[in-house]
Amino acid sequence: MLVKTIEKALNKQIEVENASSQFYLAMASWAETEGINGVANFLYRHSDEERMHMLKLVRYVNERGGRAEIAAIEKPPKKFESVQFVFKSLFEHEVKVSKEINELVDLCLREKDYTTHNFMQWYVSEQIEEEALARNILDKLNLIGNDKGGLYLFDRDLDTLTGKV
């Protein structure tokens, strides 16, 4: 059985994951309309992955006797200034999500909810991978700079990238 403080924190994380999915979906839509299809496909996949993170939390809360809540979220932006801006925003967002997850893990320890603490370790590991990949993509974009040929190749390569963000 979940204690109320943990249930509330997990519901907040459900909202964070839902907002992440929508944020990346908005980025994907923008990229697609800009003709950057590799970036768009990568971001569509990432949006789906964030939704799965949310669903995993929803199921956990419900299985543990709590009640998962799906809150309304803020509308994400529909325009972005550049591919570099998109991935800088993505990286910063992933760092913010990592902070939220770490705070939730800390709460689990303070509440002595070792079951939820154990469950959340998957998210901790996932965030390490997501931040590393986002940082790697940013590094590549910094190497490319304003080279349109480099951006073309980056876009094509990103479409085939199978790693997680």
Query: Per 3-state DSSP, what percentage of the chain is helix, strand, and coil (rounded to 5)?
Result: 80, 0, 20
Residue 127, annotated as binding a ligand: yes
End-to-end CA, the chain: 32
What H or E segment, with its residue span, contains residue 82? Answer: none
Question: Residue 94 annotated as binding?
Answer: yes
- Known binding residue 50? Answer is yes
CA angle 83, 89, 156 (to 5 degrees): 30
Give the type of residue at 126: E
What is the C-alpha to C-alpha distance for residues 21 and 26, in angstroms, rounded to an integer? 9
Please tell me whether 46 is known to bind a ligand: no
CA angle 63, 96, 124 (to 5 degrees): 45
Q: What one-character DSSP code corresponds to residue 69? A: -
Annotated binding site for Fe cation: 17, 50, 53, 94, 127
Annotated binding site: 17, 50, 53, 94, 127
